[in-house]
Copies of this chain bind each other. A is one copy, B any other.
Amino acid sequence: MPDVGVLSAHLLSVFQKELFTRLAEAGHEHLRPRHGAVMAHIATGGTRASELSDRSGQHKQVIGTLIDELERLGYVTRQPDPADRRAKLVVPTDQGRDQMVQAQRIIADIEGRLASLVGKDRFTEFKQVFEEISRGY
């Protein structure tokens, strides 16, 4: 039986290939899998870079570089945080929000197929255990 590192790496690889191929077909051809560390964790109303770092598990410097790239590509802007003027929020643009909607549609389709593959109840329990492991590791 492969270990959880090999299994995660393999699932992430095929998942990202499908997601970013289909996003490219939907007009988001400049996005790369690395940008998922930001786009998968950003809220419509904006999210702080430090929270994007916590939630993705990526170093703050890496997240900063990704935000720079996404700003140049027109997906996010940096704005002052209304709750703390010294802090910045990373806020999706219209193009960023379109990507979020398209990604949610594609991911729902992928997870639906995986649930059919192993059975709906087993898939639900799989995600439940996965989430407990992610929180508790």
Contact = CB atoms under 8 A, between A and B. Distances in A.
A32 interface: no
A125 interface: yes
Interface residues of A, number: 44
B122 A11 contact: no
A5 B10 contact: no
A122 B129 contact: yes
Interface stretch (A66-74, A82-90, A93-101, A110-118): A110-118
A37 interface: yes
Given A5-B107, A8-B8, A11-B130, 8 more contacts: A5-B36, A9-B37, A15-B137, A117-B136, A118-B129, A118-B133, A123-B129, A126-B129
